[in-house]
Structures are given as structure tokens and as C-alpha cells.
Amino acid sequence: MNELRGKRVAIIVTDGFEQIEMTSPREALEKAGAKCVLVAPRDGEVQGFKHHDKADTFKVEMTLAQANAKDFDALMLPGGVINADAIRIDKKAQQFAQEIDRSGKPIAVICHGPWLLVSAGLVNERHITSWPTLRDDLECAGARWEDKECIRDRNWVSSRKPDDLPAFNREMVSCFAEAKGTASEKNVATEVRV
């Protein structure tokens, strides 16, 4: 399984992310050949949670200040209410998501993760699912929300909760594989043209 070989995926989190919603998709992406980079607002480590309880910590591989959307092929946003509530107001996280979306690159988002996409002004006219309590936020921002295990809307994949991870991971890998080329190939092509 190398359908994502050469692709770089940014996983944006901060403290309080739902751990399984990061580790399970990351494992699926890496198994398919992708290089995943854990991106956070600050250097050091980020704290994962299992629902309301602290779980493991993970090393931040790149800060949002260092991250450039041009260097990535896709974006994955885990949930966790603490994580999603904090990351949604981070201007650099909003800009990163906007640049990924503007480039037509794929975005996978689960649970409370869509809050960042709402705050970044990206959900208008999108068909999406999420943790049920985000329904009003998404609909008020112009999205068409549905309580469904997994929804694919063009270059976006969304799911509701950890129970949806098998379907989410399958659809995410498929969506990311359909994206043409890799960021490194595109950067080389741009440099050659200059």
C-alpha cells in the first residue's frame, strides 16, 4: 500500500486533542505511504486526551509559525473539544487551512475539528458531518450538516467520532490519493519555471 508515497500531510493539534482521532488516521496515512507532520502552535509536546482524561504526550514536529501550506499535500484535523476550541482562534491555523483549501488540496476532519474550518470561513455551501453539538455552528456558517458516519464533499472528508474512524480512514486515504502530484514535485516545478 503505497498510494500516498511522497505525500506530506499536516496534522494540526494543540493540547486536549482526542488522541485516537490523531493516532488512528496518522497510522492509516503512514501505512499508505504518507509522511505525517504533527504541527502545533508552540514547540515541545502536546497533550492527548481520551475523552476527559489526559492520555499521552506527543512531540511537536513543526510549529504553525514554521509551517507553510505549500510544503504539504493535505491537512488532517483531529477533534477533542479543548483542542478544537483553542485551535479555531489561532490566526496561523486559520491561514494554513485557508491556503490548503484555496489550493484545492484535501482536508480530512473529525469530531470537533470543523470548528477551525468555521472560524476560517471555509464551510459555506459544504456538505459536512461532525460531533452533533457542532451542527448549529456549521449550519449558521452556511454548511449542509448531516448526522452520518462519513461524508465526502469534493476534496473534504468528515466524520463524527472515534467509532467512525474505520470509515473515515478509508475515505481519507482514498481522497488524499486522488490529489494529483505532491507538494515537493509542485515546488520543484515552480522553481524550474522561475
Checking if the pLDDT of 187 tops 60, the result is no
pTM above 0.75, yes or no: yes
Each residue's pLDDT tens digit, 143-173? 999 999 999 999 999 999 999 999 999 999 9
Residues 6+ apart with CB under 8 A from 56: 19, 48
Say what the pLDDT of residue 75 is: 98
pLDDT confidence bin for 185, thresholds 50/70/90: low
Closest CA to 84 of 120, 136, 54, 37: 120
Q: How many CB atoms lie within 10 A of CB 123?
A: 27
Cell numbers describing residue 125:
455551501
Of 36, 51, 52, 111, the active-site residue reads: 111
Say what the pLDDT of residue 1 is: 60
Say what the pLDDT of residue 182 is: 77
Q: How far apart are CA 122 and CA 106, in angstroms?
A: 13
Q: How far apart are CA 36 and CA 78, in angstroms?
A: 13
First and final C-alpha spacing in the chain: 35
Of 51, 52, 112, 175, the active-site residue reads: 112
Active site residue 112: yes
Checking if the pLDDT of 101 tops 90, the result is yes
Q: How far apart are CA 184 and CA 53, in angstroms?
A: 38
List domains and CATH numbers for the chain. Answer: 8-193 (3.40.50.880)
For the residues 83-104, what does the mean pLDDT come to? Answer: 97
Checking if the pLDDT of 189 tops 90, the result is no
Using a pLDDT cut of 70, give the percent of the chain over it: 94
Checking if the pLDDT of 33 tops 90, the result is yes
Checking if the pLDDT of 3 tops 50, the result is yes
Active site residue 36: no
How many residues are present in the chain? 194
